[in-house]
Chains A and B, each alone.
Chain A
Amino acid sequence: MFKKTPLAAGVAVFATILFTGGCAVADAGKSDKVDYTAMTPHELAEYLIFEANGGGFNLSQEMQEGGTARERMQQDELQKACSLLGNANPDAETAEAVRTAATASITYPEGGIQLGDWERGRVLAWSGFGYRVGHNYDDHKTREVGGTCYNCHQFATDRVGGSVGPSLTGYGKTRGTSEPILKYVYDMIYNPHTYFPCTHMPRFGASGFLDEQAIADIMAYMFDPESPVNE
């Protein structure tokens, strides 16, 4: 799960101050009594998400990982640092801080990085199921959480993958299965900010999106000589 960092906690405190003291809120739910133009764009965005008329989102909905949507919408330190206007790149100092924190976040399986079952990995790499909420909630009791990998990457060419991330076709065949390459891919899945600060790729391990077995199986799909990725 996400660790809500001091920065994220600061957002919550800020929102509370704004709501109860900083502005003339005559009546909870009457956002028109609040002067939007007196706020900075960041203050107003937080206010619109969390407070205006009870919040702009269904914040009381319970999340699959526990807690509510209100907590899910709060940013942790990395999310805050990497929310750059206009899709700008982080400055060198921010990038280094993000990279350092990402590296520290990674934990490894007892007994080292293992490759699992590539056939299950193939299913997981394809599946876009998991952690969606709102109007069509993903009930994790009915189906296992997938990796959404194909959204952004091409793997075996029997299915069409996305191109937001690089193609991974033939990954194991061209790179082998040495310890360093396995560690690199494990790190990339667990927390890719350790190599690419403020990348758009999710932190599948650090966030708790995928468990240890799912990561091992998806890695097998990438590395196993029998996998169609390496045909």
Chain B
Amino acid sequence: MFPSRFDLVVAQTVAEAVEAKVDAGEGGRFLAGGQSLIPMMKMRVAFPETLVDINRIAGLDAIERSNGHLQVGALVRHADVVVSDATFGAVAAAAPWVADPLVRNRGTMCGSVAHCDPEGDWNSVLLATGADVIAQGPSGERSISIANFVDGAFTSTLGEDELVVGLRIPVPSGRSGGSYLKLERKIGDYATVAVASHLELDDSGAIAAAGLALTSVNPINTKVADAEALLVGQQPSEELFAEAAELAAAAAEPRDDVRGTAAWKRQVVRTYTKRGLAAAAQQAKGS
């Protein structure tokens, strides 16, 4: 298989990339790792007329902590996230479970976020940790909170000519922990169910902030806001997490498919929420 014909523009700067995208109009797409876009082009479900390759742009490959945030540049590969010392909690937990080792060597975290595949892992992690997406377009740079970014399956609120140049994930200042529990049929498959958990504890050991998001059980990655609200202010306990798990199971709208029945997936959501929150609390207590 091979893609339909397209023009390739190899951009050297972000400004050049945005300009090339403006010139290309609606038929233009940005290319980073290409681990989702190239297969889609080969299967002819995507057929851009122009690809703007951003891989040669200098300065987009850093993953580092700065001003209380984990900053991830547009060319940071999943494999870079796996080995980074700057990560924490749910980000560190999810990285090794994205795709497979070879795909992680090429695919980028920002590309995956921008792609908005409802079965993608990263957007759940970003929803749980309250991250911002940094976009640059013809009129400059802006920051979009992840909750306002994910708009639908394969759809974001990114403007037509905007490029995701980075992510800003707030690093908790106090005790915190996170997890990403993913059930997959085999490595490299989409999640059957995955749950991202994030907890911050105050000095008394009570939950000061909570994040919980689900992958592959809704039409989009889904933040379980009522469970988060329930958790805040409470002392971590098995009973509390079981209650949150019921809210997560209620928020899930899984479907019967080759990966399993809806009822079973809902049960996995319940179990993984309990286990994920317990793991996050455990990590936070030890931090």
A and B form one complex: no
Identify the B interface with A (CB < 8 A).
none
Identify the A interface with B (CB < 8 A).
none
